[in-house]
Amino acid sequence: MTSASPNHGDRRASLRPDLIVLHYTGMVDAAAARDRLCDPASEVSAHWLLHEDGTAEPLVAEDRRAWHAGAGSWQGREDVNSRSIGIEIVNPGDRPFPAAQMAGLERLLRDIMARWGIGPAGVIGHSDMAPGRKLDPGPRLDWRRLGRAGLAIWPGDAPSDSPAELDAILTRIGYPPAPVDLRLAAFRARFRPGAAGPVSDRDRIVAAAVLRQIDAATTCRA
């Protein structure tokens, strides 16, 4: 595949993708997003641009290191660009994702996950790996739908007891070091959209359920 975007390089240390990072473009339309992702002056790119109608447009070959993630980490793994496939979903960030686009995202995720052997625990949002610095793909992305399709982690049955320290369990889930309010906001945007206020028992219960799903997924792939 010839890359449409010039903004890519070699994956460092012979790393291969074990993460998929979801973004929204945050721009007025697909044309503007594509122009920026393919502009050498922007130094930004992604492997895929997902249009509103569900069409997936390749911009960078998946074996190359696209420049989409920036600073951050997940589960202690840094240089996320070298470890991941980036999907930019056309959305300015202030509206729901259309049904056709979500269906296209499901198709694209299945293909990428099959090609690289990535499990649902490896599908994350940009805000997960960079809390506070990034907000995308935001609380309007239907993570529940992806979870039910086996394409991302979604909390199952809640444990009977509530862990005492939310910050500790967020670390175990994979969130990088950051002020607890930023990590909480990133966690809620994905797993408790619309939640607000100080840390609650519900936050702790849902976080424990998420961790249990991650542990189960990891055990199944071992």
Lowest mean pLDDT among 38-47, 127-136, 203-212: 203-212
CA nearest 136: which of 97, 180, 165? 97
Asked whether the predicted pLDDT for residue 18 surpasses 80, the reply is yes
Query: Which residue in the list 57, 62, 78, 88 is annotated as catalytic?
Result: 88
Confidence check: pLDDT of 49 > 70: yes
Is residue 3 in some structural domain?
A: no
Does the annotation count 106 as an active-site position? Answer: no
Query: Where would I find the beta strands (DSSP E) of 63-208?
Result: 65-66, 84-89, 123-125
pLDDT averaged over every residue in the chain: 94
For the stretch 68-93, pLDDT in tens is 999 999 999 999 999 999 999 999 99
- Cβ-contact 194, 139 below 8 angstroms: yes
Domain membership flag for residue 2: no
> Residue 111 domain-assigned?
yes
pLDDT digit string (tens) for 126-142? 999 999 999 999 999 99
Q: For residue 64, name the pLDDT band (cuts at 50, 70, 90).
A: very high
Query: Model pTM?
Result: 0.96
Supply the pLDDT for residue 221. Answer: 64
The whole-number pLDDT of residue 222 equals 55
Note the pLDDT of residue 187. 98
**pLDDT value at position 3?**
85
Q: Are 27 and 33 in contact (CB under 8 A)?
A: yes
- Taking the C-alpha atoms of 114, 80, 25 and 190 in order, what is their torsion angle to the nearest 10 degrees? 80
Residue 1 lies inside a defined structural domain of this protein: no
* Res 12: pLDDT: 96
CATH code (residue 131): 3.40.80.10
Q: Is residue 184 part of a domain?
A: yes
At residue 218, does pLDDT exceed 90?
A: no
- The more confident residue out of 220 and 196 is 196
SS3 116: helix
Q: Which residues form the domain of 19?
A: 8-221
In a domain, 131, yes or no: yes
Average pLDDT over residues 22-32: 97
208 domain residue, yes or no: yes
- Indicate the number of domains in the chain: 1
Residue 100 predicted with pLDDT over 90: yes
Q: Is the pLDDT of residue 161 over 70?
A: no
Q: Looking at residue 162, what is its pLDDT?
A: 64
Three-state DSSP class for 48?
A: strand
The answer as to whether 75 is a domain residue is yes
- Range of weakest confidence among 41-55, 76-90, 163-177, 185-199: 163-177
Whether the per-residue pLDDT at 169 is higher than 70: the answer is: yes
